[in-house]
Amino acid sequence: MESTTNQAPKKSGSAIRKFISWTLLILLLIGGGMVYWKYYFVFGEGVKSGVLNYAVKKGNLFKTYEGKLIQEGFGSNKTGTGLTSNQFEFSVENDSIYRILEVNSGKVFDLHYKEYKGVLPWRGNTRYIVDQIIQMRDLKSGSF
């Protein structure tokens, strides 16, 4: 016995699933690209010089290494008419770099840093991450 049924193939269900799958994949790729650009893409890098004011380990949940350089020269105070020094606040990921900074507060440093667009809590409190000490010298022998 021959069975002939005139059933139309079910295309609409598989087409919708395929569309949703491709849409989710594209959104996932775009989202991943945006996260990479915001938090992992190195936006800029350079060297800053100045007297190391402090190097500390702090944080509530993630303990990070933070520091501040006081740079040569003066800038204008935004809220008043006085002058303020230029300051460079940075974070450090590497323990060995932090140990050197920790015991040499008050010395002149040339620090290489990388700048990111966003801050990750486990990387530090700033967008500037110091990854190398170029030079360290005493304040007396420096240009300050």
In contact, 91 and 120? CB cutoff 8 Å: no
- The pTM of this model reads 0.76
Give the pLDDT confidence of 7-22 residue by residue, as tens digits: 555 567 798 999 999 9
Give the pLDDT confidence score for residue 74 in this predicted structure: 61
pLDDT at 142 over 70: no
Which letter, b or e, does each residue of 100-113 get, where b requires 16 or more Cβ atoms within 10 Å of its Cβ? bbbeeeebbbbbeb
CA distance 112 to 129: 9
In contact, 87 and 69? CB cutoff 8 Å: yes
Give the pLDDT confidence score for residue 122 in this predicted structure: 94
Q: Give φ, ψ of 31 to 5 degrees.
A: -60, -45
Question: Which range is least confidently modeled, 1-5, 20-24, 37-41?
Answer: 1-5
Alpha-carbon distances, residue 53 vs 29, 49, 81 (angstroms): 42, 12, 24
CA distance 73 to 68: 15
Give the pLDDT confidence of 47-102 residue by residue, as tens digits: 999 999 999 999 999 999 999 999 987 655 556 555 566 899 999 999 999 999 99
Give the pLDDT confidence of 98-118 residue by residue, as tens digits: 999 999 999 999 999 999 999
pLDDT at 2 over 80: no
What single string gives the DSSP state of each residue in 15-38?
A: HHHHHHHHHHHHHHHHHHHHHHHH
